[in-house]
Every structure is written in C-alpha cells, then in structure tokens.
Structure 1
Amino acid sequence: MFSVTVRDHLMVAHSLRGEVFGPAQRLHGATFLVDATFRRAELDADGIVVDIGLATGVLGAVLGAFNYRNLDDEPAFAGVNTSTEFLAKEIADRLAERVRAGDLGEGARGLAGITVTLHESHVAWASYELAL
C-alpha cells in the first residue's frame, strides 16, 4: 500500500462533558497538528498517490471550517463531545466528501482510504481510518 501524508494545524476552543475529562470540562483552547494520509494499492497513471498540492489545499479548506471557532457554539456539534477522536473522524469524513466531489483530481478517485491523525501534543494523538 502506498501513502502520502500532508500536514496542517487547527486551533479551536471547546469544552467536554463528563468526569473523565477533568479540567477539560471547562472551556479551553486546543491546538492540533493534523496529518491526513491518503492510501492506495497502486499508483495512478501519473505515478503518484495523490496530488500533494491539491491534498494540502483541500485539507486547509476542511480545517478552515473549524479553525479559530468555539466548537461549543457550532450547531452541527450540539450535544456532542468534540473529543480528539471525534474531530479526527469529522475531518476524515469531510476529506472523503471532497475526494468524491473530485476536488483532489480524477486520479484521487482510486484512493483506498484516508487516515486523519490529530496530535494533541508531542506525547498524545488520536487517529481515524476511513476506507473509500
């Protein structure tokens, strides 16, 4: 399996419900390093997994919908704990929509999957893997 990873970052505010979250139950800021990995079994006709420039741009656009926002105020997330794991899936799902729409080029239609990893710090991160 071949893969290409592009990277960006995301800055949000949010709070999490439940005793398990301790002080993170209060409103706080979070900065995530975001890796989006695109996978395929065979290279496309151009000999690549995906156009890195397009992938970088699409990741930035997807993250732009969240960046510098208080996720507690977003209607789409009402009643949801916007945990790192949840956000990784949400970003992966939105990237998959963009692949299906052709925003990463026709060659990207041959992708087998996407993995999104959100790094909370240098010692903790969460990922979500999505098959296409």
Structure 2
Amino acid sequence: MYSLTVREHIMIAHSFRGETFGPAQQLHGATYLVDVTFRRPQLDDDNLVVDIGLASEQLRAVLAPLNYSNLDDDPALAGQNTTTEFLAGLIFRRMAEAVQAGRLGPQAHGLSHMAVVLHESHVAWASYEGRLIADSGAVG
C-alpha cells in the first residue's frame, strides 16, 4: 500500500459537557497539528498517490471554517463534545467529501483509504481512519 501525508494546523476554542471532562468543561483553547494520510494499492499513471498540492489545498479549505473559531458557536456542531477524536472523524468526512467531489483531481478516485490524525500535544493525539469507496459516496 502506498501512502502520502499532508499536514496543516488549526487553533480552536471549545468547552465540553459532562463531569468526565473536569476543568475542560470551561472554555479553553487547543492547537492541533493535523495529518491526513491518503492510501492506495497502486500508484496512478503519473506514479502518484494523490496530487500533493491539491491535497494540501483541500486540507486548508476543510480546516478554514474551524480555524480561529469557538466551536461552541458553530451551529453544525451544536450539542457535540468536540473532542480530539470527534474532530478527527469530522475532518475525515469532510476530506472524503472533497475526494468524492473531485477536488483532489480525478486520479484521487483511486484512493482506497485515508487516515486523519490530530496531534493535541507532543504526548497525546487521536485519529480516525477508514476506507474510501470509489465513486459510491460511501466512506468510513
């Protein structure tokens, strides 16, 4: 399996509901280093996994609405504990939509898997990874 990873970062604010989260129930900030890894069993006709420029561009576009925002104020996230794990899944789904929509180029439809890793610190991170099903819209 071949893979290619692109990286970006975001800074967000949020709070959590529930005693499980202790002091994180209060509004606090987080800076995430975000890695998205694309995988495919065979390289495309140009010997690429995916166009690195388009992949980087789409990652920035997916992260833009989250960056420098208070996630508690985002109606699309209302009622959610926006944990690192939750955000990894959200970014996965939004990147998968970009693949399906052709925003990473037509060769990206040959991708079979993708993984999103959010590094919360140098000692803690979370991820979501799943299969991409070409041209069907199904992911996960």
Q: Distance in 2 between matches of 1:69 and 1:129?
A: 25
Query: Any unmatched runs of 5+ in structure 1?
Result: none
Say what the alpha-carbon RMSD is for the aligned residues. 0.6
Query: Cα deviations across residues 35-63 of structure 1 (Å, max 9, x unaligned)?
Result: 00000011011101001111000000000
Query: Any unmatched runs of 5+ in structure 2?
Result: 133-140
- The aligned residue for residue 22 of structure 1 is 22
Letter in 2 for 1:113: H
Shift of 1:34: 0.2
- The aligned residue for residue 66 of structure 1 is 66
- The aligned residue for residue 52 of structure 2 is 52
SS at match of 2:97: helix
Shift of 1:19: 1.5
SS at match of 2:82: coil
Correspondence 1:1-132 to 2 at 5 A:
1-132=1-132
Q: Please give the TM-score of this superposition, normalised by the length of structure 1.
A: 0.98
Query: Share of identical aligned residues, percent?
Result: 66
SS at match of 2:39: strand
Letter in 2 for 1:116: V
Shift of 1:130: 2.0
Q: Distance in 1 between matches of 2:122 and 2:82?
A: 20
Q: Distance in 2 between matches of 1:74 and 1:51?
A: 31
Letter in 1 for 2:23: P
User: Which of structure 1's runs of 4+ aligned residues deviate more than 6 A?
Assistant: none
Q: Please give the TM-score of this superposition, normalised by the length of structure 2.
A: 0.93
